[in-house]
Amino acid sequence: MLYVFLTPPGKSAIVRPMKTHQTTINRIFSMKGIGLHTGREVNLEFIPRREPGIAFVRDGQVIPARYDQVADTRLSTLIAGGGASVSTIEHLMAAFYFSGITNCLVYIDGPEVPIMDGSAWEFYQEMWRVGIYEFPESGTYLQLLKPVEVALQDAYVRMKPQSSFDITMSIEFRDPVGRQKRRVLDVENAFAIINSRTFTMVEEIEAIRKMGLAKGGSLDNAVVVDAEGVMNPDGLRYRKELVNHKILDLIGDFYSSGYRMLGKVEAHKSGHHLNNLFLRQLFSDPENYAIY
Ligand SMILES: [Zn+2]
């Protein structure tokens, strides 16, 4: 076991066992599903990778799943490079995070990662079944050394140095959702986050459909909220499923840093845009972090 000695500012040394080795999947596997926006079937092939990082391959173009390749965050996190793009990477990225996989190539034959059940659950299950392969190289953890903050109107993402990763998220929507808050102390083992589904207000669907999008959206892959409450016949998977899903999105977006983070996150009404701005702010100053 590897021990890393971390000394966040203002605190005494903390000894924490960490698995800092790079990993990949044990063998090739494939998955398929429907794209949320196109409504068309998309095939994914997962290939073990020796080089660090997760990358997508579309039309022969390799696009690193990295924050500085993010080109659009309006409906999901979209990465682009060399004239190709892949959208809705965030739930798959969260599955990689929870599986502990740091290096992988994902071949994709369509413009968006399939929505599956609206969460990271099916990707995670498949990765868990295939297993992981560990390399001797380290460099998988990012320890925050200084507070970093981004804000837009009343929404914000703040992070402070700490030797573990915890997230406090709050959301605010119209009734009956209202304000919901959740704190996750041990993010790496917060398994109720993995299968919390994406959600939308019923009136937003109309607006998105008018743009010719959300063709693949249904109650099978999203929680839909109307004036009375949740429209899905089986209701919610967790009482706090909606705020859980916002945490899932943040974990997936943060994993496009290329690292597993250590720090204390507080986020209010954050989404893909603010999550990406946060990473750009974090990496703008090398004194903000250390890599292990
Ligand atoms: Zn999401």
Please report, for the domain that includes residue 88, its CATH number: 3.30.230.20
Q: How far is the CA of 8 from the centre of ligand 1 (A)?
A: 31
Domain stops at, among 87, 108, 134: 134
Residue 16 in domain? no
What is the domain extent for residue 109?
Answer: 23-134
Look at residue 14 in the predicted model and tell me its pLDDT.
39
Residue 15 in domain? no
Query: Domain count of the chain?
Result: 2
Q: How far is the CA of 51 from the centre of ligand 1 (A)?
A: 27
Residues, CB-to-ion distance under 5 Å, ligand 1: 198, 249
Domain stops at, among 87, 119, 134: 134
Q: Are 124 and 9 in contact (CB under 8 A)?
A: no
Q: How far is the CA of 244 from the centre of ligand 1 (A)?
A: 10
Q: How far is the CA of 76 from the centre of ligand 1 (A)?
A: 7
Residue 276 in domain? yes
Look at residue 18 in the predicted model and tell me its pLDDT.
58
Going by DSSP bridges, is the β-strand pair 179-184/199-201 parallel, antiparallel, or unpaired?
Answer: unpaired
Q: Are residues 169 and 100 in the same domain?
A: no
Q: How many CB atoms lie within 10 A of CB 11?
A: 11
- The sign of the torsion formed by the CA atoms of 126, 128, 133, 134 equals positive
Q: How far is the CA of 143 from the centre of ligand 1 (A)?
A: 25
How does pLDDT run across 76-112, given as a tens digit for each residue?
999 999 999 999 999 999 999 999 999 999 999 999 9
Q: What are phi and psi of 244, to 5 degrees?
A: -55, -40
Question: Nearest-5° angle of CA 141, CA 281, CA 53?
Answer: 35
Domain stops at, among 134, 162, 186: 134
**Any residues with CB less than 8 A from the CB of 128 and at least 6 apart, and which?**
99
Q: Are 59 and 138 in contact (CB under 8 A)?
A: no
Determine which one of 91, 245, 268, 272 is catalytic: 272
Rounded CA gap, 88 and 153, in Å?
25
Q: Are residues 49 and 124 in the same domain?
A: yes
Q: Are residues 169 and 47 in the same domain?
A: no
The DSSP result for 218-273, as a single string, is -TTT-EEE-SSSB-STT--SSTTHHHHHHHHHHHHHHGGGSSEEEEEEEEES--HH
Report residue 160 as tokens. 């402070």
Q: How far is the CA of 248 from the centre of ligand 1 (A)?
A: 7
Going by DSSP bridges, is the β-strand pair 260-268/165-172 parallel, antiparallel, or unpaired?
Answer: parallel
Domain with 271 in it: what CATH number?
Answer: 3.30.1700.10
**Any residues with CB less than 8 A from the CB of 281 and at least 6 apart, and which?**
148, 149, 150
Q: How far is the CA of 37 from the centre of ligand 1 (A)?
A: 13
pLDDT mean by block of 10 residues, the chain; 292 residues? 35 49 97 93 98 97 98 95 97 96 97 97 96 95 98 97 96 90 91 94 88 87 93 94 97 98 97 98 98 93
Look at residue 224 in the predicted model and tell me its pLDDT.
94
Q: Are 170 and 179 in contact (CB under 8 A)?
A: yes
Q: Are residues 184 and 108 in the same domain?
A: no
Q: Are 253 and 90 in contact (CB under 8 A)?
A: yes
273 is catalytic: no
Look at residue 17 in the predicted model and tell me its pLDDT.
47
